[in-house]
Amino acid sequence: MLATGTDILRRGYAIAAITTYTLESTRAIVLAAERLEQPVILQAGASSYGAVGREGLAAAALAAARASSVPVGVHLDHCRDPEEIDACLALGYSSVMIDGSHLSFEENVALTRSVVSRAHAAGAWVEAELGALAGDEDVSGDAAAGAEMTDPDQAAEFASSTGVDALAVAVGNVHGFTTEPVRLDLERLRAIAAVCPVPLVLHGASGLPEDDLRGAVAAGVVKVNINAELRRAHLSALAAGLDAAGDDVRGLQKQAIAAMTEVAAEKIALLSS
């Protein structure tokens, strides 16, 4: 079933928001959620649409969500373009993220407030971001934690001024896998949660120690973004099965779905435990 409200965001529990690029990854994410009888969020950003197109990937995600036996949200991730947000709202997305983290505080507030108004009118909830994360959402690299971490007082002001439903924060997290281990500033995260009136989102969760992820959930994170680990499982399964597959595309698809389902299930189980 398509999860259309903010009920999917609950303190004390984090929902896995997993990036999809293909029909295979969409299938794997939903299969994992159904196996564990837990909700999940299918998400894609502008870069995810590059190879297959927005309408096709969105249609597959929305169809999978509606056919699922568990609540499944369909989310636009890391968008800086209000026109793309409008297009996804028209397609039926249940939530959108407006990323004004590259702007000044005042500009970020103004942009987010305008998107909140339009998205709420369409029945969707909105995520925004305050602070800056290093790294690339689609390609792992040697990123290090950025210096622009989220300020607790600014987070409280931002949430109150924009009417946003969830806030992504920077507390040492980075996008993608890194050479050097990344640890979260859980003390900062707890300070943000103590004053911020909306639930928090953690981007860049791939490769983080399980204790950090559990600590983030305990501190008030309700949505955790996962991408790189599923992406790596997808590519590894294809590489391992390519020689034996010959021209059997279906066999390769099944191997990739099975590999991604296991990774997705592991993350859903960890965050919901």
Per-residue pLDDT tens for 108-129? 999 999 999 999 999 999 999 9
For residue 142, the model assigns a pLDDT of: 47
pLDDT averaged over every residue in the chain: 89
For the segment 59-64, the average pLDDT, to the nearest whole number, is: 97
List, in sequence order, every residue forming a beta bridge with 75; answer none if it has no partner.
43, 95
Looking at the domain assignment, is residue 170 inside a domain? yes
pLDDT of residue 261: 98
CATH number where 201 lies: 3.20.20.70
Residue 1 covered by a domain: no
Phi, psi of 192 (to 5 degrees): -65, -50
**Sequence-separated (6 or more) residues with CB below 8 Å from residue 177:** 140, 206, 207, 228, 232
Answer whether 193's CB lies under 8 Å from 222's CB. Answer: no
Is residue 178 very low, low, confident or very high in pLDDT (cuts 50, 70, 90)? low
pLDDT of residue 146: 54
Tell me the pLDDT band of 51, cut-offs 50, 70 and 90.
confident
Give the mean pLDDT of 91-110: 95
Q: Span 133-147, mean pLDDT?
A: 49
Which residue in the list 7, 77, 81, 99 is annotated as catalytic?
77
Write out the two tokens for 260.
Answer: 């991604």
pLDDT of residue 181: 63
Q: Count how many domains the chain has.
A: 1
Higher local confidence (pLDDT), 87 or 133:
87
Look at residue 139 in the predicted model and tell me its pLDDT: 45
Determine the structural domain holding residue 179 and report its residue range.
Answer: 6-272
Residue 17 pairs with which residues in a beta bridge?
41, 225
Dist CA 205 CA 227 (whole Å): 8
Told to judge if 165 belongs to the known catalytic residues of this protein, a careful annotator would answer no
Q: Any idea which of 47-61, 206-220, 235-249 has the lowest mean pLDDT?
A: 235-249
**Predicted confidence (pLDDT) at residue 145 exceeds the cutoff of 70:** no
What pLDDT sits at residue 16?
A: 96
